[in-house]
């Protein structure tokens, strides 16, 4: 067996099941699940129709690079959204959702042989709290993760000082998540500049996870993308790759469709890796993805629904928990001890038991670094259910917190 498998942590939802073992949710209430980041707005009909129309493609093996029409649609979207002129032949690849790509990317770019030649294991930097795939990707690529705390006192910025110069020199890959899961934090152009300077100094690759890029609240201020930041700063996209997804943008998490774009030299190697990995996108999904990337009206409608939910629920919840509007994404990252001392796990357990609302303890989404678990004391509340259910959940959260 691959010994690195033993380094993998149980997924947060497994930890949640263990936490809730033996709890009987109050039967007076219907369950409201705000724990999983799974969009629940309906999939647009035109995407389903395009998927059905693509079924004839099942007669052929797809190529790993995907059909030109898909890469062109993605390039055109990147042009409209970020004012980028990407080459669809060399700078874009379709992927089966950003998750598999974020994972397999580490297998492509990490050079574990440095442990023999230089006597140290390569490092992969991750935000903290973070999306757990980054950690597993690092371990299975023969690297070690290093976590940079994102704490509210520092406006969720990276704690760059946590690594020594010796450690920075070992970093081969840096995962960034903007808009962040779970904090909702969006990196500014100045934040990107700091990150690019570090990448220039130490030579690491930046993997920019942008799967929440289209869930934002101010139409005049969409989140800056990593490649966009590089372009605005007059840089090339050397050592920089972005990961994007239709899952949240178009309410198609089951379709498994996204893309990677950026540094052509890296994309070429990633394509080689993926050819052997055998992860070409099924033809009907490619057809449906073209339709989805070409349409923006449904994305606006999607955002309007989140905007309405956040406007209605955030003030209600902020009266009893320490939270506020995120920069973007569909999560409220909320401190639980505003009214009374309680841990995030106790809060989540009690809320389920008394009010049948499921939220995720923040400590499950983070690792202890520098003596703190930056998720401890927080819960992640995903406003993915309908407006009525989210409002109902907010009312129950208020009742629960006020009785603590
Ligand atoms: C931060 C982050 N990145 C990536 C993903 C993967 O999304 P998908 O594989 O559906 O594109 C998720 C899913 O929840 C996520 O929260």
- Which of 247, 255, 281, 366 most suits a substitution to test ligand 1, by most atoms within 8 Å of the C-beta? 247
Q: Please say whether the dihedral angle defined by the alpha carbons of residues 334, 31, 39 and 316, taken in this order, is positive or negative.
A: negative
> Structure tokens of 55?
């079924």
Question: Quick check: CB of 345 below 6 Å from ligand 1?
Answer: no
Question: Quick check: CB of 177 below 6 Å from ligand 1?
Answer: yes
d(CA 327, CA 82): 18
Let me know: does 189 contact 229? Beta carbons within 8 Å.
yes
Q: From the alpha carbon of 37, which atom of ligand 1 is closest?
A: 14
Q: What is the pLDDT along the chain (404 residues), one digit of tens a residue?
A: 999 999 999 999 999 999 999 999 999 999 999 999 999 999 999 999 999 999 999 999 999 999 999 999 999 999 999 999 999 999 999 999 999 999 999 999 999 988 878 888 999 999 999 999 999 999 999 999 999 999 999 999 999 999 999 999 999 999 999 999 999 999 999 999 999 999 999 999 999 999 999 999 999 999 999 999 999 999 999 999 999 999 999 999 999 999 999 999 999 999 999 999 999 999 999 999 999 999 999 999 999 999 999 999 999 999 999 999 999 999 999 999 998 999 999 999 999 999 999 999 999 999 999 999 999 999 999 999 999 999 999 999 999 999 98
Q: What is the pTM for the complete model shown? A: 0.97
Let me know: does 2 contact 25? Beta carbons within 8 Å.
no
Question: Quick check: CB of 98 below 6 Å from ligand 1?
Answer: yes
Let me know: does 25 contact 31? Beta carbons within 8 Å.
yes
The enclosing H or E element of 68 equals: helix 68-82
Q: From the alpha carbon of 101, which atom of ligand 1 is closest?
A: 9
């Amino acid at each position: 067996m691959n010994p690195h498998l033993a380094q993998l942590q149980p997924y947060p939802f497994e930890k949640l099941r263990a936490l809730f073992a033996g709890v009987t949710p109050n039967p007076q209430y219907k369950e409201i699940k705000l724990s999983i980041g799974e969009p629940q707005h309906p999939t647009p009909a035109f995407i389903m129709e395009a998927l059905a129309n693509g079924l004839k493609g099942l007669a052929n093996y797809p190529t790993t690079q995907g059909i030109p029409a898909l890469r062109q649609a993605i390039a055109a979207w990147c042009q409209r959204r970020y004012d980028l002129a990407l080459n669809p032949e060399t700078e874009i690849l379709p992927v089966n959702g950003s998750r598999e790509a974020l994972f397999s990317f580490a297998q492509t770019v990490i050079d574990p042989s440095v442990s023999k030649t230089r006597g140290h294991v390569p490092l992969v930097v991750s935000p903290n709290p973070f999306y757990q795939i980054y950690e597993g990707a690092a371990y299975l690529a023969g690297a070690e993760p290093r976590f940079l705390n994102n704490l509210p006192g520092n406006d969720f910025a990276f704690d760059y000082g946590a690594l020594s110069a010796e450690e920075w020199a070992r970093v081969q890959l840096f995962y960034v998540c903007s808009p962040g899961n779970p904090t909702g934090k969006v990196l500014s152009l100045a934040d990107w500049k700091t990150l690019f300077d570090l990448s220039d100094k130490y030579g690491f690759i930046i993997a920019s996870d942008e799967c929440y890029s289209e869930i934002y609240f101010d139409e005049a201020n969409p989140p800056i993308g990593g490649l966009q930041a590089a372009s605005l700063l007059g840089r090339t996209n050397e050592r920089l790759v972005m990961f994007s997804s239709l899952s949240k943008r178009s309410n198609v998490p089951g379709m498994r469709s996204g893309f990677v774009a950026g540094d052509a030299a890296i994309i070429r190697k990633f394509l080689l890796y993926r050819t052997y990995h055998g992860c070409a996108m099924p033809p009907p999904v490619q057809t449906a993805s073209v339709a989805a990337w070409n349409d923006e009206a449904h994305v606006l409608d999607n955002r309007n629904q989140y905007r309405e939910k956040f406007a209605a629920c955030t003030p209600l919840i902020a009266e009893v928990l320490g939270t506020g509007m995120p920069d973007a994404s569909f999560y409220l990252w909320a401190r639980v001890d505003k009214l009374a001392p309680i841990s995030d796990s106790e809060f989540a357990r009690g809320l389920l038991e008394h009010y049948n609302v499921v939220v995720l303890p923040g400590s499950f989404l983070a690792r202890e670094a520098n003596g703190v678990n930056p998720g401890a004391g927080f819960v992640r509340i995903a406003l993915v259910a309908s407006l009525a259910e989210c409002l109902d959940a907010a009312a129950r959260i208020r009742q629960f917190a006020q009785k603590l």
